[in-house]
Structure 1
Amino acid sequence: MGRGRRILTILAVLVVAWLVVDKVVSLVAPDPVVGHWRSLQGRESYRAAYDAVLATLPAPSTVHDIAVEHGSVRVYEWRATDPASAGRLPVVLLPGIRSGAPMWGENLERWIGDRTVYAMDAIGDSGMSIQSVPFTSFDDQATWVEQVLAALGRDRVHVVGHSFGAAIATSHALAHPGRVASLTLLEPVLVLHGLPVSTYLWSTLLLLPAPQSWKDRALAEIGGVTVEEVRERTPMSEMIDQGARHYAAVTLVPRTLTDDEWRSLRMPVRIDIAGERSLAGGAEAAARARALGVDQVTVRPGTTHSLPMQDAALLGPELERYWSGHDR
């Protein structure tokens, strides 16, 4: 496993581990609260790490802070520059938990220019979005996405979500199908299949006052990597770590959709699942999606939960062709 591959695997482990932590915490303290920074110093530490990653992305055309029912949402816009882009619908990117808009750095350079692209920081999670009103259910996530798209004046868009963001994208498509020209779900957590039991078992260590060496071992077991690989540091892992330590997130856990709900999605749906250490449900999730008649289901060999970054070179032209086929 190469250095880049190891780093992306660890990022996936950190993301899903904190998703499990949030689920357990929500059971202990179920009263709705808003996501918030635990301290000003912690927010500044995160902001420095966030800006360091953001600086590696192509400069956006515009940065929006859009007021919505639950707070405000940070949106980065890269306008289409290709003279032939007329008629191409914009693409909306929804990130995995703790990842924010910067997670799309490996993908953006392959998509911007051809059509307008929007990348958002999820509300209620670490990033530059701000939550001021509590969520009452996971379905509230659909509300802020819809309000952002309305504010941007976009009647029809292609929506792409990774991990937790894929669950948000699915919830939005269910509630507002007329807005979604196509739905692309990259390693969607929980909406097709539950997380592996072993993930929950190892993740309990992250909630206990256990030595860091034990927690590193738990992360390694979840991700199928070595402890040494867990301890590798990168700007992205530093950003995620700062967010996990300093931001009290209120994510609410996605639910697994019923067969009827999946069949009710009338827009084209594409689902890409990792060939190794999938957190979307692997082969079982792929089989269920195919049985439900999902438009396109692909298990991508050699990838883990960080599939968008690992397969960026292939996904770039593949998704552009997919969107072009549904620009209506």
Structure 2
Amino acid sequence: MPKGIRAGQPTFWQVFGSGPRPALAIHPSLAHSGIWAPIAAALPDLTLTAFDLPGHGQSGPYDGATDYQKLSAQIAASFIDRPLDLIGHSFGATVALRLAVAAPEAIRTLTLIEPVLFVAAKGTDEWAAYTADEARFYALLDAGQHEAATREFVSRWGAGQPWDTLPAPVRATMIRQIQLIAAAGHANATDPGQILRDGGLEMIDAPVMLIEGAKSPPIIHMITKAIAARLPDVGVARVPGAGHMLPATHPAQVAGLIAVNLERAQ
């Protein structure tokens, strides 16, 4: 399990499998690269590399010098030396989408699991509800109530397990990392990387699969709809009974859908 400097950032990564197809997976906020292990095990055609985002897992801390999404995309790009299958979940999916728009020729297939590019739904009722929820979260964060802010965030974007039943070390790690949600949130709400620029999504000619949970926050479904409408070659799948953290709660279904997308680019 190697560790080195990527885009100037101390970065930990691991490689799952030894299949003929190179792949890169980018995890969500408040998680780590290990979330991909059960999914990779179900995809024997892949040699899947997954890294820990700044401030997560065993990677170094985030110093705030570079926009968080931009830095994450630069780290991810450092792992790409030939066209590959790119997979991302939540914030990781926004990083994957930013890469795909910037260098569509580097992508063999693209799988986006609930990309939290909230600005894609701007102007909808779902956007209004989301911004109200975010206002409560940031009020707690700004007041220094980090545990309460983390509880608020996890209640909407976690795996459905009540906060008080999570193991104490898990809660402590999430509380320590909660400021990273604010760091990532700027890009999710404003799109400084211009992912949604005119003609950007339309340039992705690789097969794309958008995966969402049936029980996820309503804004996710609006984001999926907005992005899918602009992609030339896209499939959309909704996993029954799943919420936002479906790679952790429904890995078999997610792996099966990724496999379907892989088959579209043999």
TM-score range (shorter-chain normalised) is 0.7 to 0.9
Residue in 2 that maps onto 1:193: 121
2:12, 2:58 within 8 Å by CA — same for their partners in 1? yes
The answer to whether structure 1 residue 141 and structure 2 residue 100 are counterparts is: no
Q: Which of 98, 110, 113 is the equivalent residue of 1:183?
A: 110
Query: Cα distance 1:240–1:66, how it changes in 2: closer, same or farther (>3 A)?
Result: farther
1:187, 1:307 within 8 Å by CA — same for their partners in 2? no
Count of equivalent residues: 248
The answer to whether structure 1 residue 314 and structure 2 residue 253 are counterparts is: yes
The answer to whether structure 1 residue 273 and structure 2 residue 200 are counterparts is: no
The answer to whether structure 1 residue 93 and structure 2 residue 14 are counterparts is: no
Residue in 2 that maps onto 1:128: 58
Residue deviations 1:17-71 (CA, integer Å, cap 9, x gap): xxxxxxxxxxxxxxxxxxxxxxxxxxxxxxxxxxxxxxxxxxxxxx222422322
Find the residue that maps to 2:201 and give its secondary structure: helix
Q: Please show how residues 176-255 of structure 1 align to structure 2 within 5 Å.
A: 176-190=103-117, 192-193=120-121, 196-207=130-141, 208-209=143-144, 218-219=152-153, 222=156, 229-234=162-167, 238-239=169-170, 241-245=172-176, 249=180, 250-251=183-184, 253-254=187-188, 255=191
Which consecutive residues of structure 2, in runs of 5 or more, have no partner in the other structure? none
The answer to whether structure 1 residue 74 and structure 2 residue 8 are counterparts is: no
Q: Please give the alpha-carbon distance, in whole angstroms, between the structure 2 residues aligned to 1:217 and 1:173.
A: 33
1:306: how far off? 0.6
1:197: how far off? 2.3
Which consecutive residues of structure 1, in runs of 5 or more, have no partner in the other structure? 1-62
Residue deviations 1:288-314 (CA, integer Å, cap 9, x gap): 234224511123232111121222122
1:168: how far off? 0.7
2:32, 2:56 within 8 Å by CA — same for their partners in 1? yes
Residue deviations 1:97-143 (CA, integer Å, cap 9, x gap): 121112224423323x4321111111x32222236793157334322
Percent identity, aligned pairs only? 17
* Paired residue type of 2:24: V
Q: CA RMSD in A?
A: 3.3
Query: Cα distance 1:229–1:78, how it changes in 2: closer, same or farther (>3 A)?
Result: closer
Q: Please show how residues 144-159 of structure 1 align to structure 2 within 5 Å.
A: 144-150=75-81, 155-159=82-86
Which structure would you say has the larger RCO, counting Cα contacts within 8 Å and 6 or more residues apart? 1
TM-score, length-scaled by structure 1 = 0.64
Q: Please give the alpha-carbon distance, in whole angstroms, between the structure 1 residues aligned to 2:156 and 2:64.
A: 33
Q: Please give the alpha-carbon distance, in whole angstroms, between the structure 2 residues aligned to 1:246 and 1:200.
A: 17
Query: Cα distance 1:136–1:246, how it changes in 2: closer, same or farther (>3 A)?
Result: closer
* Paired residue type of 2:244: H
Residue in 1 that maps onto 2:45: 114
Q: Which of 90, 104, 113 is the equivalent residue of 1:163?
A: 90
If you compute each CA radius of gyration, which structure gives the higher value, 1 or 2?
1
1:273, 1:299 within 8 Å by CA — same for their partners in 2? yes
Q: Please give the alpha-carbon distance, in whole angstroms, between the structure 1 residues aligned to 2:64 and 2:158.
A: 38
1:141, 1:171 within 8 Å by CA — same for their partners in 2? no
Q: Please give the alpha-carbon distance, in whole angstroms, between the structure 1 residues aligned to 2:116 and 2:95.
A: 10
The answer to whether structure 1 residue 288 and structure 2 residue 257 are counterparts is: no
1:169: how far off? 0.7
